[in-house]
Amino acid sequence: MGELSKADCVPGFSIITSSALYGRMALGRCLSAEFGFLGCTNDVLFLADRWCSGRRSCQFFIPNKDLDQANGRCSPDLRAYMQMSYYCVPVIHAGGHHCKQGEQVTLTQPEGYLSYQVTEETGCGSGGSPWRIEASAGQTINITLIDFFALERGTMMSSERSTHTYIHIIESDLGINKTVCGTTERTRLVHSSTSNVVEIHVLQNTDPDIQDATYRYMIYYTFTGCADIEPPEGAWYRRDGYKAVIGCHGSDVSWEIICSGYTWQGEIGNCSGIGNCNTATSEWMGEFKVAIASAVTCLTLVLVTVGVSILVCYLKRRRRQLPQMPHPYQEGLTRCGYATNPHYQPVTFDYIPDTASNASGGERTKCAPPTGMSAAMAKSFMPIWRTPLPRNPNRTRENSHVTTTREAPTNQNGARWKRGGGGDECACAKSANHHHATEQSDNRRNERSQKASMICSDVKYLTDDNLRQSRHKNYCSLTKV
User: DSSP 3-state assignment of 150?
Assistant: helix
Residue 98: predicted pLDDT: 74
pLDDT in tens, 155-181: 877 766 777 889 999 998 888 999 999
Residue 461: predicted pLDDT: 38
Overall pTM > 0.85: no
pLDDT in tens, 51-78: 999 999 999 988 888 888 888 777 776 7
Average pLDDT along the chain: 71
Give the mean pLDDT of 117-133.
Answer: 90
Tell me the range of 215-224, 273-282, 338-347, 463-472 where mean pLDDT is highest. 215-224
pLDDT in tens, 246-298: 999 888 888 999 998 888 998 888 887 665 544 445 555 667 778 888 889 99
Q: Does the structure show a pLDDT above 60 at 230? A: yes
Q: State the pLDDT confidence band at 135, using cuts at 50, 70 and 90.
A: very high
User: DSSP 3-state assignment of 321?
Assistant: coil
- Provide, rounded to the nearest whole percent, the portion of the chain with pLDDT above 70: 57
Q: State the pLDDT confidence band at 450, using cuts at 50, 70 and 90.
A: very low
Distance CA 20, CA 42 (A): 8
More confident residue, 16 or 403: 16
Distances 291 to 295, 296, 301, 302, 334 between C-alpha atoms, Å = 6, 9, 16, 17, 67
Residue 289: predicted pLDDT: 78
User: DSSP 3-state assignment of 466?
Assistant: helix
Alpha-carbon torsion (83, 84, 85, 87), positive or negative: negative
More confident residue, 263 or 421: 263
Q: How much of the chain is in helix, strand and coil states, percent to nearest 5?
A: 20, 30, 45
pLDDT in tens, 397-417: 443 333 333 344 444 444 344
Residue 173: predicted pLDDT: 87
| Domains detected in the chain | 3-90 (2.60.120.740), 97-224 (2.60.120.290), 235-265 (no CATH), 333-480 (no CATH)
Distance CA 131, CA 113 (A): 11
Give the mean pLDDT of 136-155.
Answer: 92
- Dihedral of the CA atoms 23, 27, 29, 32 (nearest 10)? 100
Residue 373: predicted pLDDT: 54
Query: Biggest alpha carbon distance in the chain?
Result: 164
Residue 453: predicted pLDDT: 43
Distance CA 259, CA 247 (A): 17
